Amino acid sequence: MAKKDQTYKSALHEKDGIEPPETLNKNSAKSIKFKRKRQPSVDDLVTGITSGNITDLSRAITLVESTNQTHTDKAQKIITSCLPYANDSVRIGITGVPGVGKSTFIEAFGSYLTNIGKKVAVLAVDPSSTLSKGSILGDKTRMEDLVKDKNAFIRPSPSGNSLGGVARKTRETIILCEAAGFDTIIIETVGVGQSETAVHSMVDFFLLLKLAGAGDELQGIKRGIIEMADAIVINKADGDNLKAAKSAKIEFNRALHLYPEKASGWSPKVSLCSALKQEGISDVWELIEDYLKTTTTNHYFEQNRNSQNTFWLLQTIEERLKSNFYNSAMIKDELQKQVELIETGKTTPFAAAEYLLSL
């Protein structure tokens, strides 16, 4: 009796359920399966995307993000067909440490942009998001208005364990978004680690969000990030923070003068904003417009996109070569043997490498 009670208390206990009624056609499940809507073809999706259909855009991005070879082959065909419709956009990278206000800023900035008639896509590069399923997704509450805005499209970071893989997917997604008519692409990344370098190499304008510190504004920022930034925007310039933000602006401006001139011919600017109060948002856009004017006039904009393409070409080749090499069963086998030979002093690492590469 006691045992029986125990079984009933178990959270794992499942009731047997009820038998389906006799009248139910046993083949119905099968026929439902046959009636499932056929998958849209490459042409269907391209037509959908280029006419601005968001469902088709999302479907194509899912193909890009898939690890299934058939899906990625299909994705490549879609991207190729979309290319003639792509490129006509401004790509803006936004980085900053956790809590600086990236999501709040993107909500305010994105809404400002759609209000002045832009179509905004928000993507993310966040290789650490494999576990959290993408920071933007969890953030959608911080982007309440933008999520509902029909001129905005928000897509969380693709999952993946290599930054290269995640970045490639984001680059391909940019092309699809552009083909769908999005003229402003915002790419967010948390400013910790290598991801900001990857984002920098896929955008036209790189924005660093900062907080005013207590007199030590320049501490804790990696020199490399400052060098990449086209603008430093000091967020949370409101309330008690405003004074500190103003002095941080002076300090950053002074510091930026110490850096060598950029190939773009643009000198990075410092600006203040309150994403929460939606203040200083239009200044950021004006700054970007100025940048675009400068870099289209001196042709840097176009040159930069070309060199980014070359960079990604080489990067892709490198990744593919590496994965083809290490995934080959023969290499796995031979590599192990060579490691043993090195350990017993029968060969050197260099001779072993030569041998493995010649296979």
Q: Which residues bind Mg ion (CB under 5 A)?
A: 102-103, 139
Nearer to ligand GTP, 175 or 221 (CB): 221
d(CA 332, CA 338): 10
Element (H, E) at 314: helix 300-327
**The tokens 């208005």 sit on which residue?**
145
Residue 139 CB, shortest distance to ligand GTP, in Å, is 6
* 291 in Cβ contact with 266 (< 8 Å): yes
Burial of 178: CB neighbours in 10 Å, binned 0-12, 13-18, 19+: buried
* 199 in Cβ contact with 164 (< 8 Å): no
From the list Mg ion, ligand GTP, none, pick the one residue 89 interacts with, judged by a Cβ distance below 5 to 8 Å according to partner type. none
Nearer to ligand GTP, 57 or 190 (CB): 190
For ligand GTP, the nearest residue by Cβ is: 101
From the list Mg ion, ligand GTP, none, pick the one residue 264 interacts with, judged by a Cβ distance below 5 to 8 Å according to partner type. none
Nearer to Mg ion, 103 or 347 (CB): 103
Residue 103 CB, shortest distance to Mg ion, in Å, is 3
- Work out whether the CA dihedral 254, 256, 258, 261 comes out positive or negative: negative
Residue 278 CB, shortest distance to ligand GTP, in Å, is 9
Residue 144 CB, shortest distance to Mg ion, in Å, is 13
Which residues of the shown chain bind ligand GTP in the complex (CB under 6 A)? Answer: 96, 98-104, 135, 139, 142, 190, 235-236, 238, 274-276
Nearer to ligand GTP, 95 or 347 (CB): 95
Nearer to Mg ion, 52 or 138 (CB): 138
Residue 169 CB, shortest distance to Mg ion, in Å, is 20
Nearer to ligand GTP, 103 or 338 (CB): 103
Measured CA distances, 221 to 174, 190, 192, 303 (Å) = 28, 13, 10, 28
From the list ligand GTP, Mg ion, none, pick the one residue 121 interacts with, judged by a Cβ distance below 5 to 8 Å according to partner type. none
Strand order in the sheet with 205-211: 152-154, 120-124, 184-190, 90-96, 205-211, 231-235, 269-272
d(CA 121, CA 186): 6
